[in-house]
């Protein structure tokens, strides 16, 4: 028989780092733990940690390497891998908490720091993806007119601005998160302090750091797709580019949109703006547990996309691991394959007979 407990102000879904308990008027609702959640949620978190650590470290190593041409959009890809890596490093903590039924064993300091890191890196990832989409639109949609602002300094400034906004967006988590007694009288949970102010602020930040960057990305990629479809001679480069950028953006949207939508409903319920019966509240709790797990898994998605869809990345990775030289990489890059900006950020420099060696470009 499933264990039940009152839905009190300290009840918290596994790994739901951005939320808090429901208000006192909902205490009469009885809540059941997600079946087998304490078993498979930690396993998924640890699998995401292993894959994300290896994959994002490999992307950082390849993009930070001085070998090969560097494209402007590779700057965004490099910072995106750094954000995902920072996200990954917190997953063992949340896996341990999920394995203990949501009880947090690491103290108030790590509760605050890990919540801040998750909030900041999630926001940074969304903003960097939006920056990447704007860069692609400028490169493809208005290439000649947009060339002056597309400089390495502008790309670095955009990434620095994304990190600055992300760190500011993470401050409420640093201020509000703390330990509260867990249901049942033993242990503590890492949750927000119950406060309408924090709930309202959390809803506003959710819209600004998720909805706004997503809208920018969707608009830019729709414009890019329309532009590319008007040039059928682009052929294979066009198809490969659209496939890769749609996979990256689709993975982010598919991972974070369910969490964001359910998180918004949770904020509205806690603010008393949305009246839900006990059955829907239980569904919301379970949905948040599963959506949080899906969102956490996104931190290992981009390296897998590069590995599966980008032949240049695979070739560069083989060269780096095996130490082989003089073996060129073909195909389009995950970061910079949109024609006419077609050089791969993962492509190593190769001397070819009768062809002059070209230097790095800033396109």
Query: Do 329 and 347 touch, CB atoms closer than 8 A?
Result: yes
Q: Per the structure, how many domains does the chain have? A: 1
Transcribe 140-174 into DSSP letters.
HTSHHHHTTT-SHHHHHHHHHHHHHHHHHHHHHHH
CATH of the domain at 85: 1.20.1070.10
Compute the average pLDDT of residues 284-306. 88
pLDDT: which is higher, 157 or 20: 157
The pLDDT of residue 330: 43
**Predicted confidence (pLDDT) at residue 85 exceeds the cutoff of 50:** yes
Question: Is residue 153 included in any domain, yes or no?
Answer: yes
Q: What does the pLDDT read at residue 264?
A: 86
User: How far is 266 from 252, CA to CA, in rounded Å?
Assistant: 21
- Taking the whole predicted model, whether its pTM rises above 0.95 is answered as no
Q: Does pLDDT of 24 surpass 70?
A: no
> Is there a domain that residue 329 lies in?
no
The tokens describing 68, both together, are: 């090969």
Q: In the predicted model, is pLDDT for residue 137 greater than 60? A: yes
pLDDT value at position 69?
A: 56
Tell me which residue range forms the domain holding 53.
4-176+188-322
Place of tokens 């800033």: 362
The pLDDT value recorded for residue 356 is 43
Both structure tokens of 185: 């009288």
137 half-sphere exposure, CB direction, 13 A CA radius: 15
Give the model confidence (pLDDT) of 216-235 as tens digits: 988 888 887 777 777 655 55
Query: Is residue 254 domain-resident?
Result: yes
Instruction: Answer whether residue 304 is part of any domain.
Output: yes
CB 213 within 8 A of CB 162: no
**More confident position, 144 or 219:** 219
Compute the half-sphere exposure of residue 164: CA atoms within 13 Å on the CB side of its CA.
6
pLDDT at 124: 93
Residue 62: count other Cβ atoms within 10 Å of its Cβ.
Answer: 25
75-84, 235-244, 288-297: which range is least confident on average?
235-244
Helix or strand (DSSP H, E) at 124: helix 107-140
Q: Is residue 351 part of a domain?
A: no
Question: What does the pLDDT read at residue 185?
Answer: 66
Mean pLDDT within 307-314: 80
Average pLDDT over the chain reads: 75
Q: Look at residue 111 in the predicted model and tell me its pLDDT.
A: 93
Q: What is the pLDDT of residues 26-50, one digit of tens each?
A: 445 666 777 888 888 899 999 999 9
Buried b (16+ CB within 10 A) or exposed e, 210-219: beebbebbee
Give percent of the chain above pLDDT 90.
20
Q: Rounded to whole angstroms, how far apart are CA atoms 250 and 133?
A: 13
How many Å apart are CA 268 and CA 130, to the nearest integer?
27
Q: What is the pLDDT of residue 160?
A: 95
Q: Residue 133: which of 309, 338, 298, 307 has the closest Cα?
A: 338
Residue of 314, 326, 346 lying closest to 65 (CA atoms): 346
What values do phi and psi take at 181, rounded to 5? -55, 135
Confidence of residue 165 (pLDDT cuts 50, 70, 90): very high
Structure tokens at 86: 């920072």
Confidence of residue 313 (pLDDT cuts 50, 70, 90): confident
Whether residue 275 is contained in a domain is answered as yes
272, two tokens: 């008393």
- Indicate whether 233 belongs to any domain: yes
**Is residue 338 assigned to a domain?**
no
| Dist CA 152 CA 139 (whole Å) | 13
Q: What is the pLDDT of residue 237?
A: 55
pLDDT (mean) for 106-119: 92
């Amino acid at each position: 028989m499933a264990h039940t407990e009152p839905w009190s102000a300290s009840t918290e879904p596994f790994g739901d780092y951005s939320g808090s308990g429901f208000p006192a008027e909902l205490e009469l609702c009885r809540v059941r733990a997600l079946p087998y959640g304490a078993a498979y949620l930690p396993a998924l978190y640890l699998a995401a940690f292993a894959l994300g650590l290896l994959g994002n470290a490999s992307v950082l190593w390849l993009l930070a390497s001085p070998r090969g041409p560097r494209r402007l959009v590779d700057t965004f890809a490099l910072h995106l891998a750094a954000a995902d890596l920072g996200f990954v490093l917190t997953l063992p903590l949340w896996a341990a908490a999920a394995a203990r039924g949501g009880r947090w064993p690491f103290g108030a300091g790590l509760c605050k720091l890990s919540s801040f890191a998750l909030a900041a890196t999630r926001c940074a990832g969304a903003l960097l993806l939006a920056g990447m989409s704007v860069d692609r639109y400028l490169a493809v949609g208005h290439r000649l007119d947009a060339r002056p602002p597309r400089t390495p300094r502008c790309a670095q400034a955009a990434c620095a601005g994304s990190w600055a906004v992300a760190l500011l967006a993470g401050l409420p988590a640093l201020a509000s998160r703390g330990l509260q007694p867990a249901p049942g009288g033993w242990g503590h949970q890492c949750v927000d302090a119950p406060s309408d102010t924090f709930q309202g602020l959390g809803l506003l930040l959710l819209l600004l750091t998720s909805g706004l960057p997503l809208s920018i990305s969707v608009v830019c990629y729709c414009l890019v797709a329309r532009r590319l479809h008007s040039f059928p001679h682009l052929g294979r480069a066009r198809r490969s580019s659209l496939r890769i950028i749609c996979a990256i953006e689709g993975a982010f949207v598919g991972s974070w949109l369910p969490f964001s939508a359910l998180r918004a409903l949770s904020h509205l319920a806690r603010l008393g703006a949305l009246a839900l019966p006990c059955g829907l509240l239980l569904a919301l709790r379970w949905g948040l547990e599963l959506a949080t797990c899906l969102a956490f898994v996104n931190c290992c998605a981009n390296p897998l996309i590069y590995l599966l869809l980008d032949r240049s990345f695979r070739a560069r990775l083989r060269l780096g691991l095996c130490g082989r030289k003089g073996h060129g990489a073909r195909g389009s890059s995950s970061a910079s394959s949109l024609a006419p900006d077609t050089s791969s950020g993962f492509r190593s420099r190769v001397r070819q007979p009768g062809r002059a060696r070209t230097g790095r470009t800033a396109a």
